[in-house]
Structure 1
Amino acid sequence: MVPVTCNISVFEACHKVIDYTPFVTACKFDMCHMHINHIGCTSIQTYADACAETGICIDWRSATKGLCKYKCPSPKVYEACGPLVEPTCDSWYNHKFIYTVNEFSAMTNVKLEGCYCPPGTILLSSNSDECVPSCELCRLPNGKWKKANDTWTEGCEECICKEDTLQVSCRNMSCPTQPPLICDQEGQVKITESVDCCQKEKCGK
């Protein structure tokens, strides 16, 4: 009897293009001799990769009842038929590797399984695993980011992610004007202290 993992009907669309017999034979051998249920996934994955290279991408893992799961590091999610090159926030990278005709252009219709940024987010850059909700953001020195027009307080400065330049602009916090202070009691002197980043005068001894 052919193990369930080795006889997945979802591959029928590829059978006419690539002979599946060698892959099923290898899968059966591995599962029957290694006595490890998930060992057959390797042969099936090899067949799926061969199908994908011809332009036939098949979501086969979902048909294995969890036996051949594909794990992705957070926040990436698994896609059975994702793009060969994942778009990023780097317009230069996208132009060169996605939109420009080159030696890989013939493979633009090839879909591959892998880990991709979840829906509603985009990969920050090709050398980053960070998925961001928008490319309109400012990078901070600590590696974090802020959306365009976001404002925040940092130390004694008020900062904003400027929409037109996507650069962080900071300025000293504005302080309220203090009315003239008169210390006319005997022994009183003016004392200046810092309160919430603002200089404030008070009377003291």
Structure 2
Amino acid sequence: SHDDQFCSTWGNYHFKTFDGDFFQLPFTCNYILASQCKGSYEDFDIQLQRQEIHGVITIKTVTMKLEGIVVELANTSIKVDDKLVTLPFSQAGISIERSASYVKIQAKLGLVIMWNQEDSLWVELDAKFKNQTCGLCGDFNGVQIYDEFIRAGDSVTPEDYGEVWKVNGPTENCEEISTATKTCADQVCENGFKDLCKNLLSGPAFLSCQNLIDTDSFIKACAKDLCHCKSNSTSCLCSTISEYSRQCAHTGGKPQQWKTTQLCARTCPFNMEYKECGSPCTDTCSNPHRSQMCEDHCIDGCFCPPGTVFDDITQSGCVAVHQCSCLHNGKPYKPGETYSRACHECTCTKGEWSCKDLNCPGICSILGGSHISTYDDKTYTFHGDCSYVLSKETNGTFTVLGDLVKCEKSDKSTCLSNGLVVIWNKKTTLMIKLSSTFKVSEQIYR
């Protein structure tokens, strides 16, 4: 289990530190979530800000500095060093990709971040960062409470703890979000909901989770959500139960389906289906066997039904492998469609190109004296000033020579001078002049 290298935040302003402390911080301020503050060099700094719109709490922005590179996550965009990027993205030891319903950021320095693009985000660190971190995720010293909520023998409230890690801009204000009018004493109210939460979190769907994670703290978090719920629906407990399921999977459990059409229902795009525990390595038309090589723990999200893969070529949902499209030069091709080029014909079959050679002559050309196209359809520009072997048969059957020189009126352009020389069987010489005459073994023809 790597639960002790895992910090998360979710739902109704809940946090769980690397060392296992649970707390709530009901503010929409910008905070340092985790940073390396005790090493000789700050490898990473992760900041997070929430927002609440019409009672729905989500993560507004995540800003991280990873070995000098700034990554910004928002609802509608992902930026690297202030430039919009598309996924998947990989540069300078940082990779960003979509994994089921998540955006996954991985840095070679020893850090993984997963964001569900809604309310939940988790950070997993390499053990080498123990005793080196600061922020709401704590100091990663392996001891609960110390030094986050007990310092020098005095208790520290979550509000005071959060104040230390607030990093608002000079013109920015953040307000404490009311957790709704309390209609009963906190403890009495929360005790009234504990049995409901306990029944849900110890139900059949979570049998594999028992003794893997701190179930009691999740029961308390669930009860708090229900006690301060602004509606009469069960939607208030969805985020905490979802987080319980995520952390169970992260520590090696296999949570089963617990969401229903009446409880925390989820919908999926295309013909995908929701799973509580699916492979984060999605099989696609481009890589139909990716999940077979996957070593990561399962995650929740939308997945393709068994026997299908995601068509990442046309982005059209899940298809059987034999229905997969292919891509060539940025253009998608349907199964069975072909393209021909450079003496071969390729057919799209099960998402892959099946090619066969055609019986056609190879053509090499020189245009304008410097633009060369090879037999294999490779084009390049070459400015020479010498006599060159343009083509030669390996056993010496023929050799084609050409003089490339600078053009008379230009220092930059290259011209084909004097024509071509073809030597057959090392004996017969054919010279083709630009004047449309040619000479065979010193005999001139027109």
Fold conserved between structures, TM > 0.5: yes
Deviation at 1:125, TM superposition (A): 2.9
Q: C-alpha distance in 2, partners of 1:83/1:139?
A: 24
Alignment of 1:1-205 (within 5 A): 1-2=192-193, 4=196, 7-8=199-200, 9-10=203-204, 11-36=206-231, 37-62=234-259, 66-91=262-287, 99=293, 105=295, 107=296, 110-125=297-312, 128=315, 130-135=317-322, 137-139=324-326, 146-148=334-336, 161=347, 163=349, 165-166=353-354
Deviation at 1:165, TM superposition (A): 3.7
Residues 50 and 127 of structure 1: CA distance in aligned 2, closer, same or farther (over 3 Å): farther
Aligned to 1:170: none
Deviation at 1:112, TM superposition (A): 1.3
Deviation at 1:45, TM superposition (A): 0.9
Deviation at 1:117, TM superposition (A): 1.5
Q: Are the equivalent residues in 2 in contact too, given 1:137–1:161 (CA < 8 A)?
A: no
Q: C-alpha distance in 1, partners of 2:247/2:273?
A: 22
- For residues 55-79 of structure 1, the C-alpha deviation after alignment (integer angstroms, 9 at most, x for no partner) is 11212424x6621112211221112
Structure 1: which amino acid aligns with 2:235? H
SS of the residue aligned with 1:70? Answer: coil
Residues 22 and 133 of structure 1: CA distance in aligned 2, closer, same or farther (over 3 Å): same
Output the TM-score relative to the length of structure 2.
0.28
Q: C-alpha distance in 2, partners of 1:139/1:114?
A: 26
Q: Are the equivalent residues in 1 in contact too, given 2:280–2:298 (CA < 8 A)?
A: yes
Q: C-alpha distance in 2, partners of 1:65/1:120?
A: 25
Q: C-alpha distance in 1, partners of 2:314/2:198?
A: 36
Q: Are the equivalent residues in 2 in contact too, given 1:124–1:135 (CA < 8 A)?
A: no
Runs ≥4 residues deviating over 4 A: 135-141, 160-164
Output the TM-score relative to the length of structure 1.
0.57
SS of the residue aligned with 2:237? Answer: helix
Structure 1: which amino acid aligns with 2:304? C
Residues 6 and 44 of structure 1: CA distance in aligned 2, closer, same or farther (over 3 Å): farther
**Percent identity of the aligned residues?**
27
Structure 1: which amino acid aligns with 2:237? G
Q: C-alpha distance in 2, partners of 1:119/1:76?
A: 10
Deviation at 1:19, TM superposition (A): 1.6
Structure 1: which amino acid aligns with 2:335? K
Q: C-alpha distance in 1, partners of 2:315/2:239?
A: 28
Q: Are the equivalent residues in 2 in contact too, given 1:138–1:145 (CA < 8 A)?
A: yes
Q: Are the equivalent residues in 2 in contact too, given 1:136–1:166 (CA < 8 A)?
A: no
Q: Are the equivalent residues in 1 in contact too, given 2:275–2:303 (CA < 8 A)?
A: yes
Residues 52 and 117 of structure 1: CA distance in aligned 2, closer, same or farther (over 3 Å): same
Residues 129 and 23 of structure 1: CA distance in aligned 2, closer, same or farther (over 3 Å): farther
Q: Are the equivalent residues in 1 in contact too, given 2:208–2:254 (CA < 8 A)?
A: no
- Alignment length, in residue pairs? 148
Structure 1: which amino acid aligns with 2:266? Y
Q: Are the equivalent residues in 1 in contact too, given 2:257–2:275 (CA < 8 A)?
A: no
Q: C-alpha distance in 2, partners of 1:126/1:114?
A: 21
- For residues 33-90 of structure 1, the C-alpha deviation after alignment (integer angstroms, 9 at most, x for no partner) is 114321111111111111000111212424x662111221122111222102111222
Deviation at 1:98, TM superposition (A): 5.9
Residues 129 and 28 of structure 1: CA distance in aligned 2, closer, same or farther (over 3 Å): farther
Q: Are the equivalent residues in 2 in contact too, given 1:6–1:28 (CA < 8 A)?
A: no
Q: Are the equivalent residues in 1 in contact too, given 2:326–2:348 (CA < 8 A)?
A: no
Q: C-alpha distance in 2, partners of 1:138/1:55?
A: 35
SS of the residue aligned with 2:285? Answer: coil
Unaligned runs of 5+ in 1: 152-159, 168-205
Structure 1: which amino acid aligns with 2:221? A
Q: C-alpha distance in 2, partners of 1:136/1:58?
A: 32
Higher relative contact order (CA 8 A, sep 6+): 1
Unaligned runs of 5+ in 2: 1-191, 339-345, 356-446
